[in-house]
Amino acid sequence: MEVSQDFSLASKHSASGLRMTSTELTAYAVISFIVVLWCHYKWNRRHFEKLASKMTGPPAYPIIGAGLEFVGTPQQVMERIIKLYDIYGSEPFKVWMGTSLGVTISKPEDVQIVLNSSKALEKDQFYKFFKNTVGEGLFSAPVHKWRRHRRLITPVFNAKLLDQFFPVFNEKNRILTRNLRKELGKTQPFDLWDYISDTTLDIICQTAMGYNLDTQSNNESEFAEALTKASELDSMRIYKPWLHPDIIFSIYGKLTGLHNVYKTLHKLPNQVIKEMKEAYAQKKIENKAKAIDVNDDDKTRLKVFLDTLLELNEAGANFSDEELRDEVVTMMIGGSETSAITLCFCLLLLAIHQEIQDKVYDEIYEVLGDGDQTITIEDTTKLVYLEQCLRETLRLYPIGPMLLRQLQDDVKIFSGDHTLPKGTTCIISPICTHHIPELYPNPWSFNPDNFDAENVSKRHKFSFIAFSGGPRGCLGSKYAMLSMKVLVSTFLRNYSVHTDVKLSDIKLKLDLLMRSANGYPVTIRPRDRRPTYKQNKNCSTVI
């Protein structure tokens, strides 16, 4: 009997020992679920990790990836980016961006494959940081919207439209010339940015919307101030990862009042669009009654970018007011700050290299003479060496040092015979491509001859990607080059530019765009309107 009882008791203890508590069961289920998720995660990432195992790259850590490489001031970040390319060269290398795989692409042959691929048209998620400012214009739009808008807008940027902008180019540059007079006779340098940025903004507002912002005369412009603040706000968001989620950034903006910056920025374009649509509709009614084409009653009025968008709407494009605003704001931002930075760099480089500045001026004198006649679109085609200087400036200091594309399918590149899997972020790097010694000897020196016809013909087409390339390349590159030629030629016809800065003194920083960390300090002197080779000849005769 006792034996039986002992056996029964032992059985109960054994059974209770095998029975799991509800807490243990829950813990087991959670651990099993995590293991399954981890296995699923690793399986889905097997292609990325297989590719990454074949590539070199900066050290990466869980969750943050190689994020520590990009912590610091905008100047320190730019220095680290350049250092990475010095370390790893032009061969593709990996950069873990958090948990996403980025692959840098620098060689022209690989750049061509990626930028021309229909599988690489989608911009990376990084570009969402710009959407509060530019919305979904051509720069940041998802592929489905970009295809439609690009097809409609591309024909707009023709020579006829660009020719109409020259009176605006000339008028705003006359104001620039007048404003610069206050710097004559001063020995202390001034920052070119203070004058050039206002000029390019006035030009783009007039040519995009037909609105005379007149920032050059009015420093209290609400729109100009909002544009600067929006750029700073977007840049701040990039460097503060906790503001990356849209909902967090939205809450932050409302708590700090910074969301009003975007409202102020969009206020002017929204107002102009509304007024122009109303005027366009009223004109259409009046002209219909008179049996006159809506576009024929005012041939003398400047036809601006917004006009062409409204005409496209009339032809069935069906742009919403928000889409009209996004495209106009995209053009205004793309055509003002980017041009201003390039122009400031170019004039600073010409101040450093006086012999090149003399050569540019001689060409300007040969084309335009010593009078005050306004420059035409035909004149700009003859300013060949000036264009070489502008392109060399963009090679040396590309405004967008990195372009990010997210692959929608696998893409194979030449280097290393790598196949980049769907979901990879391709980091196209103008700052690296433009400084490959095999393409550009002494790549950190300023040499406009890099872009003479003979040297250009020897290089791969995608050796120069300052305006990106492929189907999603910059639509406004011709506009930018024309407007910059007019400004530099007008500037140098009236003033010679000088500086104590050396090329090695220029330090770069990266916020939304790449720019000089220490500004663009120069002095100016009145121009003796004779070709420099004649001046030199006269000097030698006197001697």
Positions at the binding site for heme? 474
Instruction: Return the closest-CA partner of residue 527 out of 500, 483, 473, 491.
Output: 491
- Give exposure, 415-448, as e/b (b: 16+ Cβ within 10 Å): eeebebbebbbbbbbbbbbbbbeebbeebeebbb
C-alpha 323/C-alpha 382 separation (Å) is 37
Cα distance between residue 57 and residue 463, in whole Å: 23
Using CA atoms, how far apart are residues 71 and 105, in angstroms rounded to an integer? Answer: 22
| List of E strands, 28-162 | 93-97, 100-105, 122-123
Contacts of 473 (CB under 8 A, 6+ apart): 115, 467
As a whole number of angstroms, the distance between CA 219 and CA 206 comes to 17
* Cα 299 versus chain centre, distance: 34
SS3 per-residue string spanning 336-379: HHHHHHHHHHHHHHHHHCHHHHHHHHHHHHHHHCCCCCCCCHHH
Residues 124, 121: Cα–Cα separation, whole Å: 9
Binding residues are: 474
